Amino acid sequence: MDLRDIDDRDMQKVAQELRAEMVDAVSITGGHLGAGLGVVELTLAIHKVFDTPNDRLIFDVGHQCYPHKILTGRRDQIRTLRQEDGLSGFTKRAESEYDPFGAAHSSTSISAGLGMAVASEMMETPRNVIAVIGDGAMSAGMAYEALNNAGALDARLIVILNDNDMSIAPPTGAMSAYLARLASGRTYMGMREFGKKLTAYLGKTVDRAITRAVEHARGYVTGGTLFEELGFYHIGPIDGHSFDHLLPVLRNVRDNSQGPVLIHVVTQKGKGYPPAEAAADKYHGVSKFDVITGTQAKATPNAPSYTRVFAEALVQEAGHDEKIIAVTAAMPDGTGLSLFNETYPERCFDVGIAEQHAVTFAAGMASEGLKPFAAIYSTFLQRAYDQVVHDVAIQGLPVRFPIDRAGFVGADGPTHAGSFDTTYLATLPGFTVMAAADEAELKHMVRTAAAYDDGPISFRYPRGEGVGVEMPERGAILEIGKGRIVKEGSKIALLSFGTRLAECQLAAEDLDAAGLSTTVADARFAKPLDTDLIRQLARHHEVLLTVEEGAVGGFGSHVMQYLAHQGLLDNGLKVRPLVIPDIFMDQAKPEAMYIRAGLDRKGIVDAVFQALGTTNILSTTTQA
């Protein structure tokens, strides 16, 4: 049965069924739970009132899109969420016509929606454009840039602010709902538009004064003065779990609005599933869990996670240096800085979803002699690249960049993969760029960064647990631009940058067994390069492979540049840079992604034999 044919009185039953289906699916796949549970009624109401997919619906970030996917022809695939060859955990254009814009990073929905609204007007294609954005995403400057532009253009755009933390205002019961229906109705909106046209004859100054007076007066009752100042017609707050509130307001806005409208909806994360309601933070993103008890499956780690090692090492170094400061952009748990905050709350700053501000904020602190560690995921640091260049690198400021989620991230797919940071940082003059081969090396790099004051410095490490190496009591200060030989050989050289070192060591065992004596080296630095080490490897080996968990243009490209300028490619040296393929790779288990990329043990061995121009003589048994 089509959702639009269901009687309004039966919508709550549909919501219960949808919520149960989502809980059951995510218990099998894992994924984002709390946010989706919070927008079940809102998602149903939007699809019932609006003519999707002709009307465009954009979910900001996409954490809350699972109910949307179930409703839009993907219910039979919902238990493939975040799995290889399955549904994406976010909205994705290639997946469905109901996903008009892909979203996995925060605060893009209003900008994209405004672009669609303008395009619809220019192409004379009447349609509604609805952007659903959470209150957390509204902490990013991009959202306000889009609001400002939409207000200036007076575009016909509907923004729904999903306030799921009550961070702006709680709903005020029946009176609030009544005022919202009244304010979104044809009479009030018509009077407002008529008033604007009438006062236009009296001049812009008078028009602006009258309009602002009216909206300020209404703002005292309904809130939203900020949005009104930006040019939006503000409605709410309303109860985002009540169809009696949602449906009439959405219908009024659909039928009567002319310019940009913002509807303030208050919801509860985890709504309808008691374990998620009781602990919204723990049920934002979940592993597989038991539906009855809510108990999440926990793998027993063989080694501490890289994130934990970083956090503990930073706390340790902060105990030795009171100038060390931690900065995060709304990811205190993901980056491990929640641990730092427990020990040094006065030295830990969460700036919200504002990576650009985080970087320049850290630059300001560095300019005054503090030692800021701006801990930002590789994929999120991309959003602040201009600030990294202009506010940090050009000024040579010693901001420290711990870069989590380097390389493939599994179920989160290409939107969250840390593929490009080595390329976009190592190209900057004066930047020191490191990568940890294991958790002990990460501890060394935290201390090295703390001690380094000669310019910006970064160190990258992957998601997940370490390799189980013996850990030092405290990290050592590494010599800048110097790598290390891990294993000596004479014919093949494997030069690793990052945590593929363990696979290089396994590959070396196979190559040695095939009679190909193999050296394994850990570069540690992409910039400055250890030119002595590279020269030694190039002169004394027949084949040189660079191996990294990053895109083309990174470490391997810098090595090739050096070899070419030094004439070290002229004596027949066979060089093969192994990198993440030049594609956006869809989600799968990280191990499968590295195999596909040829960055596993077998892929490294195969690359050596290809460089030698011979067939891989090793059996699959030997490599298993």
| Active site residues per annotation | 269, 355, 383
Q: Where are the alpha helices (DSSP H) in 223-344?
A: 225-229, 243-256, 274-278, 306-320, 337-343
Q: Angle at which helices 601-612 and 590-597 pack, to 10 degrees?
A: 0
Of the candidates 112, 115, 110, the residue with the CA atom closest to the CA atom of residue 262: 110
- The length of the chain in residues reads 624
Contacts of 481 (CB under 8 A, 6+ apart): 432, 525, 528, 529, 530
Both tokens of 572, joined, read 């027949």
Comparing C-alpha atoms, which of 408, 405, 401 is closest to residue 463? Answer: 405
Q: What is the CA radius of gyration of the chain?
A: 27
What CA–CA distance (Å, rounded) separates 6 from 445? 60
For the sheet containing 574-578, what is the strand order? 484-487, 518-522, 492-497, 543-548, 574-578
Is residue 541 within 8 A of residue 490, CB to CB? The reply is: yes
Residue with token string 């709903």: 171
Adjacency order of strands within the sheet including 324-328? 348-350, 324-328, 371-375, 400-403, 457-460, 432-435, 525-527
Give the three-state DSSP class for 396. coil
Q: Among all chains, which residue has been given the structure tokens 């020191």?
A: 432
Which sign does the torsion angle of CA 179, 181, 183, 188 carry? negative
Reduce the DSSP state of residue 88 to 3 states and report it: coil
Burial 327-351 (b: 16+ CB within 10 A, else e): bbbbbbebbbbebbbeebeebbbbb
Cis peptide before 398 (omega within 30 of 0): no
Q: Which two tokens stand for residue 536?
A: 């030694």
Burial class (CB in 10 A: 0-12, 13-18, 19+), 620: exposed
3-state secondary structure of 234: strand
Beta-strand relationship, 158-163 and 261-266 = parallel
Question: How is residue 10 annotated by DSSP?
Answer: G
DSSP for residue 470: P
The single-letter DSSP state of residue 370 is: -
User: What SS3 class is residue 598?
Assistant: coil
Concatenating the DSSP letter of every residue in 497-566 gives: ESTTHHHHHHHHHHHHHTT--EEEEE--EEES--HHHHHHHHHH-SEEEEEESS-TTSHHHHHHHHHHHT
If one counts every other C-beta atom within 10 angstroms of the C-beta of residue 290, the result is: 11
DSSP assigned state of 266:
E
